[in-house]
A and B are shown apart, each in its own frame.
Chain A
């Protein structure tokens, strides 16, 4: 099953970005199917605690969105302190990008809201940065075992 919010999220994306986004979560979904098929114990252990397949597929989508859509923007626009360059002194990258505290307030708001969603859903932070389902399963198991 695909997460219900997925069409709404991906229809806003530029097609090249969407291609990367889809490739990223589909790779994780394949990895998850493989782990279930091969009866990998960390995955089975996690699923036995209530983190069923649909939930893991949903976290994979959030992970892919974070890595392929928000991550590159966070690099320059998520900053609030440090050198004046890109904060009080705008950086113009051609005509299409301006990096400054004012120009990127909408991106910072999106990053902050996404972080709030992660916290509310009790997803360990590293789960949204790893590129393999096995690593995501590892961090979720660690959380369940009281590692966080």
Chain B
């Protein structure tokens, strides 16, 4: 290959040859849009969460599937949740639902509403549609569930983490107005993964210490380095916080 001859360093020539071949062979597979990348990452988090519930002994079931049996993932809080699939998890008396892109209405004030990427709700929680003149000119209803019904709130960030990102997740949990999301209780955990921030990039040693300190003081988990793939949430050195 002509380009490789320019490299006096055989290692560099080898990289060049291999990466040129890689780019030619796999461009269609890796050339995704930013939105597609975020979608892949979020679904990776979703699957990791489903796997975690299975490992905790929950029976996991996909509901409201498409006619061909596929799972229709809700990608925006504007969609009607009734038209999309969700997962139910049950273990004895503990029954809950894992849903995506469900807006939560804060316990503090009904005007405080926001949408985490994933939320675990008590089974049967009503997702209410309310028309609001300040939302879509009052033409479409705004779907929301009460934050008091959320057992855990999960957020996915496909980027390298940083301290301000980590603490802003605590802000989101605080805005639910539900004390259990931000304060550790003495109640025995029921097996749910505590509210978790899933971060794609690796953390430095300094950040890992900060994450450990945060998870000691708050009922949260901040999992980093997920871009490596092959996620097993319970494989880590230290146990995850559970609620």
- Tell me the A residues contacting B by CB distance below 8 Å: 3-5, 8-9, 12-14, 16-17, 20, 52, 54-55, 58, 62, 66-67, 69-79, 82-83, 85-86, 89-94, 96-97, 99, 106-107, 109-111, 113-114, 117, 120-121, 129-132, 135
- Inter-chain contact count A-B, CB under 8 Å? 193
B168 within 8 A of A: no
CB proximity to A under 8 Å, residues B26-43: 26-43
> A80–B11 Cα gap in the complex (Å)?
32
Known: A69-B30, A71-B200. A83 touches B23 (CB 8 A): no
Query: Which residue of A is nearest B207, CB measured?
Result: A131
The reply to whether B25 and A90 form a contact with Cβ atoms under 8 Å apart is no
> A72–B22 Cα gap in the complex (Å)?
18
Partner of A76, one of B22, B43, B54, B228: B43
25 residue pairs of the A-B complex, CB under 8 angstroms, read A9-B22, A12-B30, A16-B34, A17-B31, A17-B34, A17-B37, A54-B12, A67-B160, A67-B200, A69-B30, A70-B30, A70-B227, A72-B40, A75-B41, A78-B230, A82-B51, A83-B47, A85-B62, A86-B43, A93-B43, A94-B39, A96-B33, A110-B22, A110-B26, A117-B15
Min CB distance B209 to A, Å, is 15
Min CB distance B225 to A, Å, is 7
Known: A82-B51, A83-B54, A120-B18. A130 touches B202 (CB 8 A): yes
Query: Which residue of A is nearest B27, CB measured?
Result: A12
Known: A3-B12, A17-B33. A72 touches B158 (CB 8 A): yes
B83 within 8 A of A: no
The reply to whether B29 and A110 form a contact with Cβ atoms under 8 Å apart is yes
Q: How many residues of B contact A (CB 8 A)?
A: 65
Interface locus among B2-10, B114-122, B172-180, B210-218 = B2-10
The reply to whether B30 and A110 form a contact with Cβ atoms under 8 Å apart is yes
Min CB distance A31 to B, Å, is 13
The reply to whether A8 and B47 form a contact with Cβ atoms under 8 Å apart is no
> A124–B65 Cα gap in the complex (Å)?
43
The reply to whether A8 and B31 form a contact with Cβ atoms under 8 Å apart is no
A66 CB contacts on chain B under 8 angstroms: 227
The reply to whether A129 and B228 form a contact with Cβ atoms under 8 Å apart is yes
> A104–B185 Cα gap in the complex (Å)?
42
Partner of B29, one of A76, A91, A107, A121: A107
Min CB distance A148 to B, Å, is 17
The reply to whether A12 and B29 form a contact with Cβ atoms under 8 Å apart is no
The reply to whether B15 and A97 form a contact with Cβ atoms under 8 Å apart is no
The reply to whether A121 and B43 form a contact with Cβ atoms under 8 Å apart is no
Query: Which residue of B is nearest A9, CB measured?
Result: B23
Known: A79-B230, A109-B26. A4 touches B71 (CB 8 A): no
B31 CB contacts on chain A under 8 angstroms: 12-14, 17
Min CB distance A135 to B, Å, is 7
Partner of A106, one of B28, B34, B71: B28
B129 within 8 A of A: no
The reply to whether B204 and A132 form a contact with Cβ atoms under 8 Å apart is yes
The reply to whether B229 and A78 form a contact with Cβ atoms under 8 Å apart is yes
B30 CB contacts on chain A under 8 angstroms: 12, 69-70, 73, 107, 110
B75 within 8 A of A: yes
B201 within 8 A of A: yes
Known: A91-B73, A106-B29, A109-B29. A96 touches B43 (CB 8 A): no
Sample of 7 further A-B pairs with CB below 8 A, known A17-B34, A109-B26, A111-B229: A55-B9, A73-B32, A75-B44, A76-B44, A92-B71, A94-B73, A131-B202
B96 within 8 A of A: no
